[in-house]
Amino acid sequence: MSSRVLILDFGSQYTQLIARRVRELKVFCEILACNTPFEKIQEFKAQALILSGGPSSVYDKDAPPCDPKVLQMHIPTLGICYGMQWMSHQLGGKVAPGAVREYGPAQIGVVNTHSLFHEFPLKDISVWMSHGDHVDHMPQGFSSLAKSHNGLQAAIGNDQLKMYGLQFHPEVVHTPQGTEILKNFFISCRST
């Protein structure tokens, strides 16, 4: 399992909760602001990276800045909500405003057997959504892992790059299997 995880904070109200869930899995982690200079991010020597959610749109002129070089560190990366959108946008995907804002309890359907959802007994998973924008077109090389009942991407991944995105929040108690998803990310998607 990864033993040093860096969480980049894009302004989410749940960032401390992400750290708590990671630490409950006995994984050391620290939180840095997303605009931390890349050199300081490198100094942490992370073995995995989590990009938090946040209240902005990737197209806002005052969207939280982050050095895109963090996506070239060749370590497993998990984008949560805004983190998934930011990662997708930086890698050439398209983020679009949703016709329907997904907020609150939701069901997602797993559409691709993947290690993130390893040993899940059900195809439908209860999750907590809190977003307006969504990934409309995935970056090249990514595949859909789960979709919301509104047909939007709920989880995406690229095994070659070891980059994954969740449109929902695995860190909150309203996503009952969220801890298992985080654990599966650390175990099954770790760097070799």
Residues serving a catalytic function are 81, 169, 171
Structure-block tokens of residue 158: 């690229």
Q: Is the dihedral of CA 22, 188, 37, 89 positive or negative?
A: negative
Q: Give, for 180, the enclosing helix (H) or strand (E).
A: helix 178-188
Distance CA 153, CA 175 (A): 17
Per-position b or e across 54-84, b if 16+ CB within 10 A of its CB: bbbbbeeeebbebeeebbebebbbbbbbbbb
Sheet containing 94-110: which strands, arranged edge to edge?
28-33, 4-9, 48-51, 77-80, 163-166, 153-158, 143-148, 94-110, 124-137
